[in-house]
Structure 1
Amino acid sequence: MLAKGLSLGVDNRQIQTAVLAAPESDDPVVCPTDADELDAFREEFAGTTFWCGILLGGCGGQLLTRRGNVRVSHFAHFPDPEGLLPECGRRSRGVASADHLYVRAATQAWLRRQGHTPRYRYIDRDDVPVGSLVEIELDGRTLLLHMKPTTPPDWDAAQAGDIILGPGVQVDYRTLVRRGYVNRIKFVSEGNQRVMMLGTELPMMGTDWDFELADCTVDEHGRLITPVVTRLKAARAVAERASMPRPRSEKPEAPVQIGTLIRLINNAVQKEETTTVRELRDTAQLQVPRCEGQALEHLQHAIDDANDLLAEQDRVRRRLFASLDEAVRNGHVYKVTTLTPQVRELIQGDPVTTPQEAGILKTADTLLQETRQQAALKRQAADERRAAAAREWEERRAAEAQEQQAQRVTQVQERKARNGARGQVQSITGRLRRETLSAQQQKHLVEELVLAAKEAGDHLSEAEQHKVNEWVERITALEEPDTAEKTSPAAQPLRDAITDPVRLPDRLVPAVAAVRGALKKAARARTATNWNRLEQQLGSALPTLTSNERVQVLVQVDRSTASDEPLLSSLLAAGDPHFTYQHYRHVLTALGLDAPDNDEDLRDVVEADAEQVFTDWRFR
């Protein structure tokens, strides 16, 4: 049934992505395009099924891997036994069509290390094609990833804690200026994997992709914080502090001065601006002796709130620096990578650091820099090893190809030489059989026959070798005294001589149909044959025939063959050279066709006709 399906409907779609194990799976995989890499891929996923995933926008049908010879290797749908391919609406079949599924593989462990519990949802609605939107729920907050430009972002959506855009999703300039920045996401291919990269787009500056996933965090509000966002927030904090109003040294009325100070303290505490809170707290403490009554009560309450915030910030600060110091001393690079951005974000609101804190930060930065340099050296070494391995493989493949080409040339030359020698054997035996020669001439021809037979080697059929041996024995017998009176080999009667075909006897009519059927079957199977094989296949349907009867049967087999088509009997000539030179010429002559006089030319014609028969009967 498989062959029928393939013949009725061939799947020409080139699909590079699939999912593993089930149609509903969100575990994507990319098919290698290189034919050699596909072999390793099949070995790696032996026993695993591939599917045209629902989350890829596919039909849910099972896929197979197809090795590319002219085109690249790819996934393809299993052929339908009835010849109908499955209805599939996938429009994007490249490696990027599964990027929304790689989001989970790239971010799940990263988010969990930050204390989040992510849950993933792939939006699939009539107005939102599957793969366009990915929601990541983080403890009540939501990261909304717009993967495709077909679905524009809703910047005022209340449920989205942060919106991240794919590389092709546009944002209008006013929105970008109003928000200050927009984070972006893209995937790049590394081997058969897709690797996530994060970036931040700023007005008039474009997108900065120059950082890794480990350099980024997601804060408690569900916002993605990249190094660019961290620097932008620090710059904003400095600008706000510079523009913040300060209590004037001289006030015409004390109640107005105290009220303004209290409002400033409460505003700074609410925004958690540590430096400003500390300065205003100190100013407020100087004003305590001047206050009394309700004003003093409100001022003291504001001072207490400021002290609570500063105490909490100091505890967090000490804990973070202590953890960072311990991670640096123990060489825990990943922990240092995670803590350093948190420490820098904390000190943006209170930039004054102690010498000890500055030393810890400097040591952490040095460790991270050395780690990145070592990682870069390792990547460079790995790239060099891969490049060297690729060059070695290419050189080895080129050498093997050159060696194989030389072997093929040698084999072709040897085969041509052996075929030429075989033709010489057949020509000499024909002369010995047909011509009246003297004993000396016969001896000279038999000597040439022996040399030609030796050169032909195993290219001679058993019948041809038997004839060579027979002529050698005859010449040997002629040279012996007691056989001098025997009849010359040239005078021996020829056995089973071929005569012109006459009307086919009735007993051979069934044999014509049987032989025609066997030759058609061999043509569809793209195999040559010989008369012994036909007798084994057909059994009693093909009685023992003389050479003349075989020629008559084959003439009737090809009597209905069109004039512009090769003969089915060419498959017998291709499978048995003895038949070619002794009988096939008679078949051609009886059908009114020309046959080359030269045996080698006739052999070339037979081989060409056999190949054409294979082509013509492939789909009959």
Structure 2
Amino acid sequence: MPPYEEDTRKVQTAVIGRPGSDWPVFLPFDHDDYDRFMQGRSRDDFYCGTLLGGCGKKLTAKRYLHKKCHFAHRPPVHCRRTQTGEDSADHLYIGQALQRWLRRQGHQKVTVSYPDLGSGPGGAVEVRFGSGTRLIRVQMDRMSLKQWETTRAQFTGDNMRVQWVYGPNSGIAHNEVKAQGHAIRFSCRTEGDTRKVYVGTQHPDQSVKLVTLDECHLTDEGIVTPHLTNERPMATDVDTGMDTTNQLAFPLVPGQLAFTASVPAEEQNVTARRLYEADIQPLGSVMTRMRIALPLHSVPPSPHRLNVIESTAHLIPLTDSGTGQRTWFIETAGFSPLPAQSDPRWPDLRPAPEPGRLPSPAKSAAPAEDEALVGFLRGKLMQIARSRGVINWETLIRYKGYAPGDFTPQDRVRLLVAVDRPRTSGKPVLSSLVKLANQAPGPVSRFDEVLAGLGWGADLLPEEVRSIWAHQRKTAYDLVRQEAPSGNTAPPGGATPDGSDLISRFRAELERVAFRRSLINWSTLVKVTGARSGGITPSARVRLLVAVDGSYSHARPVLSSLVKLDGQETGPAPFFGQVLRELGWTPGSTLRSPDAAWPTERDRAYALVAKAVSASKNPPPPVRADHALWARLGIKRKTVVKAVRRALVSAAQRGVRVSWQTLASAAGVKPEALPDRTRASILIDVDRGAGQDGVLLSSLVVSPGNLPVPYFADILKYLGRPYSSYPLELSRIRKVEQARVFAAYEGSVNREEA
């Protein structure tokens, strides 16, 4: 192939991040699946990975309507990659799946390699764990019997416990069946925009029964599938006579159960498992002390950590033959320790303190320091009330230099009670503005204990606690509003009647800015959200942007980084540093100042909003609410939407296309009064209820020359429909949608030309 020609081979797989990445992606064949695949991604994300046997150069995703979509190299091309089909990255998918599966079962040191056995990387997948003494080897390439025997002997000589697993084309799984009575096989299937990994059990009759990897568990023997478990003879403990197989078992939902304070049980009544006594709490329920059974060779759970059961688990009854009493235990393949010592999803779980661990003198919340700390917390919560927001407890204490682990839940209750004492009539409970990180909206964990410490009853029902919390939060916001005439405590909205509504409008507009990967002038932001800039002082502007962002977190975008002053080309706004510090950001080893952090926070906002858009399948509306516009026109927006919908239904019944001038006349507004972005917003509302399969009335709206309106692609994109930036393709989509509309309304009125 001459170097100036473009490589048109149908490369279906790539890697993302860097040329040597082991993170694979599969490009779907269909153009509709292609559009969903590309949401949140850019054309520069893909590489012809070296672990795929590729050249490491960037690939371009190609979209086609009448042939398979695929990746292609960018010229000039010099690549000798031989495997390019949909299964060409299966070794990477299998390696990633095994790595995740082992880590969910408590193995932290898991390494994956892809040896080159002569045909390129991925001839085998080798996954090492258990301090490097255990190995799962997935044989992908074909191998002779002699090679197989030699390699097995080599691993045995290395004193390593190895389980051999076989890919779909290895051709030697039958040798394993002869040696072990069965073989474990891996295969991948295309499902949507990925390759899903399945595990099969091959029997002597060559039949293979497939399950997902999550349905399997790990024992000393290696991967055990449900088919192997069901085929094994019933095991009975010799000492107790407890039957541990073929019994009733209730499956538990992964990720809904956590435990801590685990200690080995004195009696081990479960074959091939090790029992632990532990504090266990299901999501939304109370804590209980019971036993949990883990594989013999799983990493023992630490009593000083909070652990989540994220793999397959069952609740199993056992009957003690000596007493006749039935007990229960939880059997699971593994667990994942959490980095934090507490989690709002399981508020009753309290890990035992680690031996010898004492808080440093500088970080100790000793009683002598409580008064200063309480005063600081009270002042910070008053600032949060002025911004009409809430704050994470973790962020709140970091303002004073503490870490979350420096305080127990009891310490938190004690400090929050001190913040709100004494309780007097009309005084808000500022603790109502505190929540835990990752907690759903609502009262902070143990808020009922805070209320009890302030004089409420100690036996409040959960709905009573929530009602008091909502009332006290509103009282805190109202108090700030009453203090507004003093000058320094004005609500962030200035002259606006509802600060929370303004915050929502600011946030929505900044999400649209992030989706467009751009910046916005402060004056423009104020104008399009319907605020009055004269009522927002510089200090109120900072409080407003702090309320928009809530608190600093690596999982949350800092939308304030997208705001700049009028006339400013780029870079952080002069007030960005103050906003960032108020959010709880602290300098790091590489980002020592807000100015240095600004490009990072801007790019994080772009990426996190794009990720949220990809997950929801709906980008932010490409248009603004235009509150000021409708106020100036003296007409309600929903009235215009209804009129436009009626006019489009009438056009569909008559089989004609219409211009925007016709729709504006039907709605009683001048055509030039509504800009393109507002017209698009109206048509989106008209077709919002159509779903993924309904007809689009907006396709009947045409520009002069019977061309699609310039914002038709934005409408399709927002509604989750296939779209294109190419005029010919967009025109084709519009014609198809028009034909569907006419067919749906056919027969109502004789057709006539528009």
Q: TM-score, normalised by structure 1?
A: 0.40
More helix per residue: 1 or 2? Answer: 1
More strand per residue: 1 or 2? Answer: 2
Name the larger-Rg structure.
Answer: 1
Q: TM-score, normalised by structure 2?
A: 0.34
